[in-house]
Chains A and B, each alone.
Chain A
Amino acid sequence: MKKHIACILSAAMLLGLLASCGGTKNPQGESGKTVTIAKSILPAHVDPAYAGSADCSEIINMNAAGLYYVDGDNKVQLDLASAAVESEDHMSITYTIGEHYFYYADGSQGPRITAYDFEYAARRAIDPIASNDNQDTRMMNAGVKNARAIHDEGMDPKEIGVHATDENTLVIEFEVYIPYRDELLSGRNLAPQNQAFVEECGAKYGTSADTVLNSGAWLLTDFAVGSTSITLKTNPNFKGYDAGKANVDTVTFVQIQDSQQALLAYQNGDVDIVSLSGEQVVTYADDPAFVKFGQAAVTYLAVNCDEYSNDNLRRALSCALDKTALCDEVLLDGSIPAYFMVPYNLTTDGKGNDFRDTTKSYGQLDLAKAQSYWEAAKAEMGIDSVTLDFLITSDENAYTVGAWIQDQFQNALPGININLVTVPYESKMNYVMAGDYGFSVVTWGADYADPTAFLSCYVTGYPINVSHWSNAEYDQILSDCTVGSMASDLTARGAALQRAEEIFMDGASVIPLYQTSTCLLVRTNISGINYHLCGNTYDYRSMTA
């Protein structure tokens, strides 16, 4: 028995010894100025061609650079191109790729970045097979030659209008002049990629620090599949825009899945930047480290028009929700009520005003109006009551919001019963895509600052048009504004897109709920982080601490 007790005591002592190994301050043991950022999820890879998620883009935006860079004032600047010359008819841009740009890896200089690397990156990004289900749509929206044909008609990706004429010269050809195309081309999925290196790495390209060539302001030094942290160090040899502006030596992203644990880690001093969610926002709203910024993302109810084709039924629903109460009493995360599809601060109306400031609001709470729409719907459909299927996900937050919306509809519109259909989080999109749903909560974020980032989604037959809504006038306006007569006339375009939004909101195929905001705690000694409304949200190129 004594032996057993001795063993147990030894184990306890061993545990104590192990415990003493656990330093919690500066957990990565890095020297110099280190900023540690908590993230609920870390990317499994940093391959620019596959970078469909925000967690991927955030890292890629650090270790890779492209033709353009969006600075802190949301101005598009040349990054890895020394010069860009636009043709007189605006249908092509010739970029000079300087001979002083190189890749870096393992602390040493790699091959030179050439124009061919941009051409190769464009082909990978536009190829639906090479990039799997993260095919680039920015080149399509920027009017790059053949991008739309490759996407819609299966043309060979080699036909993309991005060509290197020699190592120093890259030419991008366009089918139509899109005024904001530079911003679209700033996406990191067009970051240069060395073909020989990519092919040598094969499927493992971008899955570890050893299978990445860094072209950006930061060097990926520690990253592997299954790792709980990602470490980047400043690239002293970076020659792009704002090079050398950051005074932080190391940025470490640590994975903390649970938001409460992340907050404890911040309070412990283990991390310097943490995202807040739900009631944490209310608790820390007055903290000096509290940072809030809006995002160009709108969460809305997508209504399946094939299931619920009566316009008045959908209009009744759109007026029956108290969105202010949803934001202030349920979400509590800083989101603002959405009476629009094109969010605030995204872009202008073509005359210098915010797009939202010179147009209408839609779907305000109006119970009398909702009731009259519902009466009209009942008469048209010949019914007294109806049960609507509301597809929600099984996580707690979604259920809370779903139950609240169910309660609002049922109280405001007697005779309407809402049946909550619960499915796992990502399976939901399978049902939505297949049209096997009544209505459901969808969030859509813009990847470029233009109303078409939202409005194009609902053109007839477009895969993202999950409501299956259709309107000929709307389709025509969107066509004119993207590839047609108004594409380059900003003033006429702004007014036309405001009209398109009005048509769209009148159709009530979607019921906007809120424009999302992001709230963080950022230690007060850290500054210079650029928070972008759309595209890549976080930019650390000029971060100081």
Chain B
Amino acid sequence: MWKYIAKRILIALGTLFFILFVLFILLSFMPGSPFNQLTLTAEQIAVLEAKYGLDKPLMIRFFIYVKNMLQGDFGVSYNIIADYPVIDLIGAKFWISAKLGLTATVVGTVLGLFLGLVASIKHNTWLDTGTTFLSVLGVSLPGYVFALALSYFIGFKMNLLPIVYSTKHPVSSLILPVLSMSMGPMAQIARYTRTEMLDVLGSDYMLLARTKGLSNRILFIRHALKNGLTPVITVLGPMLVSLMSGSMVVEQIFSVPGMGSLLVSAVQTNDYNVVLGVSFLYSLMFIVSMLVVDLLYGVIDPRISVSGGKKE
């Protein structure tokens, strides 16, 4: 087990290094320079590029970046806030996106599990039809439709909640963005849960357990729920990362100063270090989440061996 974990971590580090290298190469192909002020002369642009080491060959810049990064230095911003450390800039935005994404994942998962379980238990009843309809709606409609609808009816018409995010009211002003962002995950989880639970509830081992006289409660929690949830965990990791990395549209509608808008600003202004920093963080989050999900399989379902089967 530990050998497997070590191996996976090594692979993850290698993947991260490779992603960083590809990002570095791609950024060098972006048109223009971070210094776009119309009044700057070619000589001044050259001086600015020398100041930030952008005049050095690509590979040397890459190794300097990696060396500094390993010491916790992700460089400075060129444009968004000149000379401001990228790590601090990301830090200021990341926690808002992370809070929003994490809360949306929790709310979406809880609601999705509830709807999926109700649909599977009350299979072929109006409750099943109703929850399936909600799931289809959640999958089909993009998050910004919910965002606009919630904003207009709950925020504006009913005046119950703020329609824009405020750092002064971080909880109440986060409810509408969270609800908007949780609709997609809710629908996805509900559909997965319903399908898996119906499969498990109709399986032979459930019939056997029932005939052995187990109570419905034990039957459901110990046997059905545990087996039915494995596929949900598969989608949960990437979903969490996706939501935590920020939704551009929902952030725009509710004015959440998160990672989505930071990345777009950085790409548009050729703020290379910020683009690299944010992209690296996304990659790190995704790879870690996949690793955690893989390891969780073994905990939840002992039939899945994380360290591989023994050779016969």
Contacts and interface: CB of A to CB of B under 8 A. Distances in A.
Which of the four size classes fits the interface of chain B?
35 or more
Contacts of A129: 47-48, 51
Interface stretch (A95-103, A163-171, A219-227, A239-247): A219-227
A44 interface: yes
Contact of B268 (A128, A154, A427): A427
A268 B163 contact: yes
B285 interface: no
A463 B41 CA distance: 6
A268 B168 CA distance: 18
Interface string A1-18: 100110110010001001
Contacts of A431: 31-32
Nearest to B76: A203
A133 B37 contact: yes
A148 to B, nearest CB: 12
A18 B172 contact: yes
Given A7-B110, A22-B173, A135-B40, A203 B166 contact: no
A430 B76 CA distance: 21
A358 interface: no
Interface residues of A, number: 63
B89 interface: yes
B79 A133 contact: yes
A430 B168 contact: no
A29 interface: yes
B108 to A, nearest CB: 12
Task: Tell me which of B92, B93, B159, B255 has the highest count of chain A C-beta atoms within 10 A of its own C-beta.
Answer: B255
Nearest to A135: B39
B298 to A, nearest CB: 25
B153 to A, nearest CB: 11
Contacts of B36: 133, 426, 429-430, 433
A400 interface: no
B220 A45 contact: no
Contacts of B161: 19, 22, 24
B255 A204 contact: no
Interface in B55-92: 76, 78-85, 88-89, 92
A267 interface: yes
B267 interface: yes
A228 B167 contact: yes
A226 B47 CA distance: 30
Given A264-B156, A433-B32, A433-B38, A21 B169 contact: yes
B96 interface: yes
A135 B31 contact: no
B107 interface: yes
A15 B175 contact: yes
A396 B43 CA distance: 36
B117 interface: yes
Contacts of A27: 162, 166, 168-169
Interface in A151-188: 151-152, 154
B160 A151 contact: no
A537 interface: no
A227 B166 CA distance: 8
Contacts of A50: 82
B171 interface: yes
Contacts of B156: 264, 267-268
Nearest to B51: A129
Contact of B33 (A23, A45, A430, A436): A430
A430 B253 contact: no
Task: Tell me which of B30, B34, B155, B270 has the highest count of chain A C-beta atoms within 10 A of its own C-beta.
Answer: B155
B286 interface: no
Nearest to B171: A18
Contacts of B173: 22
B172 A21 contact: yes
A528 interface: no
A44 B80 contact: yes
B68 to A, nearest CB: 15
Given A45-B81, A154-B43, A1 B37 contact: no
Task: Tell me which of B30, B37, B44, B117 has the highest count of chain A C-beta atoms within 10 A of its own C-beta.
Answer: B37
Contact of B38 (A18, A425, A464): A464
A128 B44 CA distance: 7
Interface stretch (A251-259, A368-376, A512-520): A251-259
A28 B114 contact: no
A258 B253 contact: yes
A429 B32 contact: yes
Contacts of B252: 257-258
B175 A203 contact: no
Nearest to A132: B82
Given A19-B160, A261-B151, A264-B152, A254 B166 contact: yes
Interface in A403-434: 424-427, 429-431, 433-434
Contacts of A137: 39
Interface string B232-269: 00000000000000000001111111000100000111
B293 interface: no
B192 interface: no
B162 A424 contact: no
B297 interface: no
Interface string B151-187: 1100110011111111111011101000000000000
B164 to A, nearest CB: 5
Contact of B114 (A8, A226, A265, A466): A8
A22 B172 CA distance: 5
Nearest to A154: B43
Contacts of B172: 18-19, 21-22
A4 B117 contact: yes
6 contacts: A133-B40, A154-B47, A224-B92, A226-B167, A228-B165, A463-B40
Given A22-B161, A133-B48, 11 more contacts: A7-B110, A24-B159, A128-B40, A128-B48, A133-B35, A137-B39, A228-B164, A229-B166, A268-B155, A431-B32, A434-B32
The 3 closest A-B pairs by CB, nearest first: A430-B32, A22-B172, A226-B92
